Amino acid sequence: MYGDNALGIPILTIVTLLPLVGALLVALLPKNAANAIRWTAIAIAGIDMLLMLVVLFSYDSAGAGFQLVDRFRWAQGLGLEYYLGVDGIAVLLYFLTSLLSLVAVVYSFSFVNHRLKEYYASLLVLETGMLGVFVALDLSLFYVFFELTLIPMALLIGVWGHGRKLYSAMKFFLYTFAGSLVMLAAIVSVYVQASGRPGGATLNYVDLIQLAPNWSYGFQTWMFWGFFFAFAVKMPLFPFHTWLPDAHVDAPTAGSIILAGVLLKMGGYGFLRWLIPLSPEASVNFAVVPLALSVVAILYGAYITLVQRDLKKLIAYSSVASMGFTVLGIFTFTQQGVQGAILQMVSHGLISGALFLGVGVIYERLHTREIARMGGIANLMGVFTALFVVLSLANLGLPGMSAFVAEILVTLAAFRVQWWLAVPVYAYIIVSAAYMLWMVARVFYLGKPQEYHEMPPMKIWQEAVPLVGLALLSVLMGVWATPFLETMEPAVSALLDYLPVAPDTGTALLP
Amino acid sequence: MPPVVYPSVNLFAISSIIALVVTVLVVLMLAVAAPRVRGAIYAAITLAGIGTALALAVAQSGSAPVSTFSGSWRSDTLSLFLTFVILTSGILAVLISDSWLRLHNVGQAEFYTVLLCSLVGMITVVSATDLMTLFVGIELMSVPTYLLTGFAKHEQRSNEGAMKYFLLGAFSSAILLYGFTWAFGLSGSTNLARIGEFTANGGGEARAAFLLAILLIIAGLSFKVAAVPFHMWTPDAYQGAPTVVTAYMSVSVKAAGFGALVRLMTEAFPGMYREWGIVLVVLSVLTMLLGNVVAIVQDDVKRMLAYSSVGHTGFMLVGLAVWTPENRLAVASVLFYAFAYVFANLGAFGVLAWMENHGGGTTLDHMNGLFGRAPAAAGALSIFLLGLMGFPLTVGLPAKIFLVQATIEADYLWLGIVLVLLSALAAVFYLRVMFRMFMYEPRYALASPSQPLMVIGLVASVVGTVGLGVFFSPVWEYAQRAAGA
């Protein structure tokens, strides 16, 4: 019931905590040994990535339930556990985290030059926090990891960022912290509610989903709203998204990669892992709220992207729309919708991570992010232009790329639930094409850059390889999505079976 | 002539304060006999004395509750838990005070004497089960803290703070005493348990008068724990007092004050918990709100922490306000919070004192770039602030969780949510300090005198803040036992 560990070694613990150990290691190195610090961080992130491949290959994608489980009692008598495990919902996001962290660490090699120790330590602590979020199966542990990501990310924005970095860092921290404190109150309620059961108090996922269907509707309602804000802020779902553009614009490139690539996914994952299972009945009844907000997010996000003049802000706002698809998919409560949502999270992680890296490439050379001051980059950096255009097309959902598969699944699911729910999505398809193509034309093809007449080519390992790799993964998911979908299928089916919905029509409540 | 009956006296139950009083005498005699002693001899003697008192308290913790001195003193798990809290803050206070005393060449013997006396008072407060003993304890706790506040006698602010604290403190003692006389007059006894019997059914005909007594007592003790609207002295006294003194009294007086509140409310007036519960709910909401909101606009970190400590009083009041005879968690959560608060708050003020000793200041500008200049101090201060904020892996998180849990047990979830939202608000000003330390360029230089004892004290506070954040369950279980006693 609690899952087992076929591998026999606590691989999840190792993968999750290795970056933390790496952070300590980095902190112990002398301050002026710049290259030693950089290489240590790269080595740690690289080893972590290799171990992640072990996880991926020892994960049995046909198996339901949790695998590679590590579990022991943490606070005796209080019923709190140290409980890690992956299932089909988590495993791809877990992998994505490690991949994008490696990209971020490698990318930073020559672009970050001051306060190196703190920089790499922050990145590595952040990695541990994010990895932990995706495998923690005890609510208390989940909360610890969820909060652990806040400080390093705020530091990354505030110390190594640009512009109004302090304002943005503070805004980022406070928005998320406020949301998660409400979640904390909800967690404590769960604990009190669960402490009446025969086996004593528990916050363990497997035990809680046994209890949750029996909870009163009023309590489930509180669960829903208690968790909703924390994850909606993180997603970010309209109207809780206002921290995102600020945080992205002022974050350093590596910070943006991680923020867009992984941190936002913690919200979508939280919906699937905690909010919905803990309020099975209420979340079906209240689904109309996130559905409506997600449609607004998709349309509003798309239209507001249209008017952005800052390249980074443009991609940030397009994330709001893309993440809207995730919420839309999740709350249709259909197999296609939820699978599409998870696929959208992974795909958006790859694509937006790569796009932010691309923005970094331009910024390092032109020292501006204003679209009006760019132009004609295609003449100066041919290969890079090709890559960036491919990624832009991926972002707008071109068939053959991962976002297309995800968005089509979500749209289909939405259509089957209520046909008119899919209508705004078609508008999105047009608008998203408009802003991405408009941006590509202005930045790469029309006119000339005003400041530079030549630009140094991409650095192979820091810029070219990650961009190519991420683009290839996106293509792979676009043309051969079956293994990815199969991996998540058992877990998603289990979740939907657990909910009081018909598997075909999903959210039945809508008129 | 009737035979003289001596009350049965158990000296072991008061052995902690005996040890402290003996230490006071030794310190004073030493100052008279050898006025020119140098080094940390006074600190060492004081530490030894407090350590002995702590050991004696530990020795009592296994045995059953002892009631002695005709029922005016009780040594049970509740009093022992708070005694641990108070003595821990005493030890940490001595550790962080040593270098300040020596740098400013202030009378060490006097300082430690007064500090030890206030510890005796606090232990009396938390162990008293009789109104008279309680009042004596409160005075014995308060008068030394007035003195400590004014200990930097050449500084105007220290004098001003001490004067304000003294006048308002005396005023509040009078209100408290007035409440005590009402309670005594109505019930005919000064013994808490007797009063408890009298008010068990809501006070009967004397109900309205008892309510007046309760209101007066709550008002009087609210001064001691700095609850709104009786907090006016707090910012000035906390800012004016030498920082090491602020560190000490912000945690210990609060713990003792809450001890008195818990004893009085749950032992003398348990039958009227609905009435005083409402009063405390209102006070707690006001206190949380004012403390945390006003702290945001402060430019001086010391004053900011003073307001934040008002906010923490509000959090702790929440725990007591939701007390019902069935709610085992209410008192336990207050006790745990008091213990948690010692490490985080004393540590935070301790780092400020450390900076002052290094020639720095306590304004926000002085925090700029501290991480570059003194990474250990900045790291420690961050940990303390995160602890106060209630961040995971620090003691502040379980402390807040237990309070919320207590509110849920009592069906006061909304109060728990107010607490949680105001904690999020509190993050604003704690974060601002941290941002200054990590993200700004340094502005002021720091000298570097060696402060070995201070470092020990701060390291111990860090260990307490983080250690209890992870391994909180033994303390929590002990607090629950204390609440059940």
Chain-chain contact of B439 with A165 (C-beta, under 8 angstroms): yes
Burial (CB count within 10 angstroms: exposed 0-12, middle 13-18, buried 19+), residue A232: buried
pLDDT at res. A507: 55
* Cβ contact A148–B392 (<8 Å): yes
Average pLDDT over residues A293-320: 90
Would the CB atoms of B427 and A77 count as touching at under 8 Å? no
3-state secondary structure of A75: strand
B427–A191: do the CB atoms touch at under 8 Å?
Answer: no
- Residue of B393, B404, B440 to mutate when probing chain A, most A C-beta within 10 A: B404
CA B52 distance to own-chain centroid: 21
Chain B: closest CA distance from residue A202 (Å):
14
Higher pLDDT, A327 or B485: A327
Q: Is A505 helix (H, G, I), strand (E, B) or coil?
A: coil
User: What average pLDDT does range A407-429 have in this prediction?
Assistant: 86
Min distance B310 CA to chain A CA atoms (Å): 20
Cβ neighbours of B471 in A, within 8 Å: 75
From CA A202, how far away is CA A212, in angstroms rounded? 12
Q: At what angle do helices B207-225 and B243-263 cross, to 10 degrees?
A: 160
Cβ of A117 under 8 Å from any chain B Cβ? no
Taking residues A79-88, report their average pLDDT.
88
Which among A154, A247, A238 is positioned nearest to B428, based on CA atoms? A154
The token pair at B38 is 């140098």
> Distance between CA B483 and CA A495 in Å, rounded?
42
SS3 B231: coil
Rounded to the nearest angstrom, the minimum Cα separation between B275 and chain A is 26
A-facing residues of B in 362-381 (CB < 8 A) are 371
How wide is the angle at C-alpha A67 spanned by C-alphas A62 and A71, nearest 5°? 165
- Print pLDDT tens along chain B (485 aa): 677 777 678 888 889 999 999 999 999 999 888 877 777 888 999 999 999 999 999 998 878 888 888 888 999 899 999 999 999 999 999 999 988 888 888 888 899 999 999 999 999 999 999 999 999 999 999 999 999 999 988 888 899 999 999 999 999 999 999 999 999 998 888 999 889 888 887 777 788 889 999 999 999 999 999 998 889 899 999 999 999 999 999 999 999 999 999 999 999 998 888 889 999 999 999 999 999 999 999 999 999 999 999 999 999 999 999 998 888 889 999 999 999 999 999 999 999 999 888 888 888 888 888 888 888 889 999 999 999 998 888 999 999 989 998 998 888 889 998 998 899 889 889 988 998 888 888 877 777 767 888 899 999 999 999 999 888 888 998 998 888 75
- Cα–Cα distance for residue pair B425/B427, rounded to 1 Å: 5
- Which of A181, A193, A227 should we substitute to test contact with B (largest number of B Cβ atoms within 10 Å)? A181
B472 in contact with A, Cβ within 8 Å: yes
Name the band, by pLDDT with cuts 50, 70 and 90, for residue A200. Answer: confident
Q: Are B20 and B120 in contact (CB under 8 A)?
A: yes
Query: Is pLDDT at A21 greater than 90 in this prediction?
Result: yes
Going through B321-367 in order, the beta strands assigned E by DSSP cover: none
B417 and A143 in contact by Cβ < 8 A?
no
Q: Using 50, 70 and 90 to split pLDDT, how confident is the model at A202?
A: confident
Q: How far from B130 is each of A240, A383, B224, B262, CA to CA, in Å? A: 55, 85, 18, 13
Cβ neighbours of A189 in B, within 8 Å? 408, 413
Q: Which residues of A touch B391 (CB under 8 A)?
A: 147, 151
CB-hemisphere CA count at 13 Å for A81?
22
Q: Which two tokens stand for residue A494?
A: 């289990």
A window 140-159, beta carbon within 8 A of B: 143-144, 147-148, 151, 154-155, 158-159
User: pLDDT tens for residues A155-166?
Assistant: 999 889 888 888
Helices B233-240/B301-321 angle, 10° precision: 130
pLDDT of residue A179: 86
Span A320-339, mean pLDDT? 91
Chain A (179-208) residues lying within 8 Å, Cβ to Cβ, of chain B:
181-182, 184-185, 188-189, 191-192
pLDDT one-digit tens code per residue, A53-66: 999 888 888 887 88
> What is the per-residue pLDDT for A197?
78
Smallest Cβ–Cβ distance between B428 and the set A76, A78, A174 belongs to A174
Q: What is the pLDDT of residue B1?
A: 67
> Do B405 and A158 make contact, defined as CB atoms within 8 angstroms?
no
Residue of A nearest to B405 (CA): A188
Distant-in-sequence, close-in-space partners of A135: CB < 8 Å, separation ≥ 6: A12, A16, A84, A85, A86, A90, A94
User: Do B427 and A143 lie within an 8 Å CB cutoff?
Assistant: no
Write down the pLDDT at residue A511. Answer: 43
Residues on chain A touching B386 (C-beta within 8 angstroms): 151
Q: In terms of DSSP H, where are the helices of A138-272?
A: 139-148, 150-160, 165-194, 205-211, 217-234, 243-250, 253-258, 264-270
Residue B254's nearest CA partner among B175, B330, B317 is B317
Asked if A129 is an interface residue toward chain B (Cβ–Cβ < 8 A), one would say: no
* Mutation site for B-interface testing, chosen from A122, A192, A216 by largest number of B Cβ within 10 Å: A192
pLDDT tens digits for range A253-264: 999 999 999 999
Pairing mode of beta strands B66-68, A80-86: unpaired
pTM of the model: 0.89
> Cβ neighbours of residue B457 under 8 Å, at least 6 residues apart?
B92, B94, B95, B96, B350
Among the partner-chain residues A76, A170, A191, the one whose CB lies closest to the CB of B431 is: A170
> Is residue B227 within 8 Å of B317, Cβ to Cβ?
yes
Answer yes or no: is pLDDT of A456 > 90: no
